[in-house]
A = this chain, B = another copy of it.
Amino acid sequence: MPLVLRDDEIRLALTMADAVGAIEDACREQAAGTAIAVERRVMWLPNGWMRLMPGALVGSGVMGYKAFHRTGASVRYAVHLFDYASGEAIAIIDGWYVTAVRTGAAAGVAVKHLAPAAAASLGVIGSGAEARTQVEAVGAVRPLRRAKVYSRDPRRRERFAREMSEHLGVEFQAVDQPEKAIDGVEILVAATNTGGTGPALFGRWLHKGLHVNSIGSTLKDQREIDPAVWAFADRIVIDSRHVLDESGNGIAAREANAIDEGKVAELHEVVAGTRPGRTGADQMTLYKSVGLGLHDVAVAFRIYRQARARGLGRHVEDFQAVVPASG
């Protein structure tokens, strides 16, 4: 009898710190070999796409997938969870906030392990829902004191600065050029929806000592950062090896020969300490993600457990289990 959870219930059930914890636990399972992450399947449609992203945390006893599709301008998301041992459906969870929060939380884990330990200043490029969860995640792992935001639309960046100042209790300044958001900060978040318009972040704008999260290119036709960002980085950490094939960023950077493979590690390797993260204060570190079904499953499972403990959601019927007969 799966538990169905709506967006409002999900937000009640989970804090960003919970989500960061869920992603760190998933990274440790990956490093221990009890997590399974496979490539997503994308079906392109004349008016959008459908994507299916499976993942399993065998150690935690859960498996599932996220299914989401874009039709025209709007997207619908759902995460389906199953008990690993019995196969029973345990939850059907609206996947919109899960997506934003798990992307933010994974980036928060990256900041925790890659940004300078005393980093307290943040620059943000972008002002959408993903930018919000990125900022929340950074706030969950570093004691922020000041922050700046650039977005093309003046009203949107002003509103973002105002709302995030209140939300995090940090002074947030809206700036009218992306370079101003970067100047002097220790952590930079790029969370843009570039579509086909080309990079929103250029390597020549960056300085050493900075940690950069880039999450805005998850498809081949999207480019958020230019190849020089990759070339300038001393360490490159990715959520999955598929970054280099699935993201327009990764593809363009590879074509430009801007990626030194020796600098590249997966997030779980850095969390588990099997590959180095930042090894010096004068390094620029880059975290780039395309999104892992495994992270959706990890965060959705945390939501499910906490929602159940709080009596949230409604149960719907499960389908039968069948034992296919032998011929």
A: which residues have CB within 8 A of B? 4, 6-7, 36, 38-48, 50, 52, 54-56, 58, 63, 65, 67, 69-78, 80, 82, 84-89, 94-96, 125-131, 151-152, 191-195, 200, 216, 316-327
In the complex, the answer to whether A46 meets B58 with C-beta atoms within 8 Å is yes
Q: Which of A48, A52, A89 gathers most chain B CB within 10 Å?
A: A52
Q: Are A128 and B326 in contact (CB under 8 A)?
A: yes
* Contacting residues, chain B, for A47 (C-beta < 8 A): 84-85
Copies in the complex: 2
Residue from B192, B194, B317, B321 within 8 A of A6 (CB atoms) = B317
Q: Are A41 and B41 in contact (CB under 8 A)?
A: yes
Contacts of A44 in B (CB 8 A): 36
Residues on B with beta carbons closer than 8 Å to the beta carbon of A128? 324-327
Q: Residue on B with the closest CB to A151?
A: B327
Chosen A-B contacts, 10 in total, with CB atoms closer than 8 Å, are: A4-B316, A43-B63, A45-B56, A45-B63, A45-B84, A74-B87, A76-B318, A76-B322, A131-B327, A192-B326
Given A39-B41, A63-B45, A63-B50: A75 and B321 interface contact (C-beta under 8 Å): yes
Q: Given A40-B41, A52-B65, are A319 and B131 also a contact pair (CB < 8 Å)?
A: no
- For residue A131, which residues in chain B have a CB less than 8 angstroms away from its CB? 327
Cβ contact within 8 Å between A192 and B327: yes
| Given A65-B52, A76-B89, A327-B194, CB of A45 within 8 Å of CB of B36 | yes
A286 to chain B, nearest CB (A): 18
